[in-house]
Amino acid sequence: MKHTKIRMARAATVIVAAFAIGSLGTAAPATAAEPPTGYPTQQIVTTANNPTVGSIPIRRGFWNADYPGGDRGWGMDKAWNKHNIWSLEAMRRVMLSTNVTPQGAQHLLKAYAGKYTCSGSVCKLTDQREIYGIYNSMTYSTYYDWPVGGKLGLQTMYCNQGGAWSCPNWVTYSITNPGVNNPYSLTNPSSKALTRVEPSLSAEQQRVQATALASEEIVRLTEAIAAGDEQVSFSYNSLPKEIPAH
């Protein structure tokens, strides 16, 4: 008999970490086709106060990779587990984007993450990923049969990269640790500090981020940045082909 695994918290593309379900007041078997009964899909874990479209809730949501006929889900869990956006703060920063395209009840919010290789006084763009945040402004009691109880908010977030599901680890790193062309500023009223989340989720975020930061990809990247050989960037508009070296 085939068992299916609930994807609820992934640290990196090859490491899956389970949420501390017991501390959330729910119980879950090790394997199941859907989240366990009582899983708080409707919980607003943080909010992005976008200057163009207003307040965007980021709900916990869920992601079931093994749903018959294809995966399904929405919210933080989908962005985190399916698309490897492994930081809530990264999700929030993308949802603050002023690069907004209305699509009926939905809005497409765009951002860009990039890596540069540096030589002398110039750094050249070697990899750029376009990031899509989908904001759904409709109100639902349920979505995919799981509780919402209000505006859906973040429906999903992913890299527009030819159909590949998982963003590289460096994409999230570049959003939270950009070197230049950074649209995120604590002086911007819409960029207030991360909304306080419950201790169990905050602790899980710290574990997930620690694992991702310890990955070979990020260790090599941070060493290259420290040596002045590479740079990362994040912007709400397409990145320039060249930037000055730091």
Is 153 among the domain residues? yes
**pLDDT per residue as tens digits for the range 137-163:** 999 999 999 999 999 999 999 999 988
Domain that holds residue 191: 10-244
56 within some domain: yes
**192 within some domain:** yes
- Total domains present in the chain: 1
SS3 106: strand
Does residue 92 form part of some domain?
Answer: yes
Q: How confident is the model at residue 188 (pLDDT cuts 50, 70, 90)?
A: low
Strands 122-143 and 146-160: antiparallel
Tens of pLDDT, residue by residue over 22-68, are 223 222 222 334 788 899 999 999 999 999 999 999 999 999 998 88
212-216 average pLDDT score = 92
Percent of the chain with pLDDT over 90: 64
Look at residue 2 and tell me if it is in a domain.
no
Residue 11 CA to residue 106 CA, distance in Å, equals 28
**Inside any domain, residue 1:** no
Instruction: Return the higher-pLDDT residue of 28 and 126.
Output: 126
Q: Residues with Cβ < 8 Å from 215, sequence gap 6 or more?
A: 12, 15, 169
Among 37, 26, 56, CA closest to 135: 56
Contact in structure between 182 and 93 (CB atoms under 8 Å): no
- pLDDT category at 202 given cuts 50, 70, 90 is confident
